[in-house]
Amino acid sequence: MFATLSDRLTSTFKHLRTRGRLSEADIDATVREIRRALLDADVAVSVVREFTGKVRERALSAEVSGALNPAQQVVKIVNDELVAILGGDARGLNLAKNPPTVIMLAGLQGAGKTTLAGKLAVHLREQGHTPLLVAADLQRPNAVTQLKVVGERAGAPVYAPHPGVAGEDEVPTGDPVAVARAGVETARSRQHDVVIIDTAGRLGIDAELMTQASEIREATQPDEVLFVIDAMIGQDAVTTARAFADGVGFTGVVLSKLDGDARGGAALSVASVTGRPILFASTGEKLTDFEPFYPDRMASRILDMGDVLTLIEQAEKAFDADEAERMANKLAGGEDFTLEDFLVQMQGMRNMGSMKKMLGMLPGMGQMREALESFDEREVDRIEAIVRSMTPAERRNPKLINGSRRARIAKGSGSTTTAVNQLLERFAGAQKMMKQMARGGGGGMPGMGALPGMGGKKSKGRMQAPPKKGKAKSGNPAKRAEQERLARLRAAGEMPAAPAPQGSAFGLGGAKKPGVPDLSPDDLKKLLGG
């Protein structure tokens, strides 16, 4: 959603980094570009004015003028102020000390409250809670039926004593306040620890909506009132949020449809305008496309610095810890990474969700947005089909796959031999990388060889030290004869090898100190009283 804003800010900072020192004119020009980017993204004017004022004040202060890299310091200031307008510190749900915790959803019609009730139920069930959905929207056609379907998909029961209305011409007859009150009592009697009340919405702000929502709040005394706002509705988001804050009052905001392609900047203004934190964000149509809102991570995404923490959290949920340990032990034991292992890893990635979303969380991916948008999610299905068309022996040992086998695999997977060849080539590269990682991080940094204690082959970089040669033989015949005699004694084990030279790191390099005798392990034991 914030692609345009991200591109504009990234371009502004790119020009800023070309300057070694920043003058007041440079900072004014940068702040002016930031102001235009935020206004074009539909951020509220009052928020933009306050934001750019703070950025300019801090950018002209001593923290930038005395910085080693003023451009990076300005980026940090912008990041800090973005976090501030997004709400500052992240906050979770306030759970009741004495269950059930009552959560009331409010917002305009079409904001996605009913679907979000199911997403919130899935999120709470993953945390060990037992939510109950209450169908208190008796005015929108088929709202009750929709909540029942969503609840079934989410694995959460739905309390719906009234069927609501089935068509536009029907007149609502039920009492949503009574339904909400009875829903809380039902949850208490059935020992559900969370109640999610889905209330009615309207196409615009009106007195009837506010009165009904206020009465439901008074009747149920919710622990959280979440204002669900469509992130795509533009500047009207701020007006609506203010009206709900004054008329009903809410404790937190949930952004829905954050995966849309609208400018969406007005949604970023809600926390600053209302003083209420954004708790969650809905990022897709699936019930699992729902995540807690972290202001610092969202600011990082907007500035194209990625969101690695969220990516790690999703990976931890999707991947099996036992399987990961088995794979680590297998690679540590020197076994090869096989196509069967590759298939398991792909299935784990599929459980994480959209590949585009995952790749988009990596730093710097904004510069590859066109390539990212053209990525075909079905490519994963094609690769899986090719691997599943192989025999178990072929998956364990791809070298068995000759020409006829490739043709059979291509036919069985509905692909071509070229696609099979490309997969095998990519897998060979992945297998080689896995071996390098198992030996110790790919053999160390280029030109430095493998790190101590990490194993691996030495690097073939240009700066690699030449192999250490043996001690040069003396030109004096007597000395040469003595050297050869000592070498024969050491080879026969009759004389201890010379210790490592002392006086430098790791015991390497440096001359032997005069007066220090050569000690064997047995001599050391005697000196230490062993």
Residue set of the binding site for GTP: 107-114, 198-202, 256-259
Whole-Å CA distances, 437 to 127, 175, 202, 325: 35, 64, 57, 15
Query: Residue holding tokens 């949604």?
Result: 267
Q: Is the dihedral of CA 262, 264, 266, 267 positive or negative?
A: positive
State the binding site. Answer: 107-114, 198-202, 256-259
As a whole number of angstroms, the distance between CA 251 and CA 103 comes to: 10
H/E stretch holding 291: strand 290-292
| Tokens of residue 452, six digits | 């101590």
User: CB neighbours of 503 closer than 8 A, spacing ≥ 6?
Assistant: 509, 510, 511, 513
Question: Is it true that the peptide bond before 452 is cis, omega within 30 degrees of 0?
Answer: no
As a whole number of angstroms, the distance between CA 285 and CA 515 comes to: 79
Q: How many residues does the chain have?
A: 530
User: CB neighbours of 529 closer than 8 A, spacing ≥ 6?
Assistant: none
Q: Is the dihedral of CA 440, 443, 447, 451 positive or negative?
A: positive
Q: Are 228 and 112 in contact (CB under 8 A)?
A: yes
- The DSSP secondary-structure symbol of 506 reads G
Crossing angle, helix 417-440 and helix 321-332, to 10 degrees? 80
Angle, alpha carbons 476-477-480 (nearest 5°): 85
- The DSSP secondary-structure symbol of 365 reads G
Query: Residue holding tokens 């609506």?
Result: 240
H/E stretch holding 523: helix 521-527
User: What one-character-per-residue DSSP string does 222-290 give?
Assistant: -SEEEEEEETTSTTHHHHHHHHHHHHT--SEEEEE-TTSSS--HHHHHHHHHH---EEEEE-SSSTT-E
User: 329, 321, 377, 378: which is closest to 348 by C-alpha?
Assistant: 321
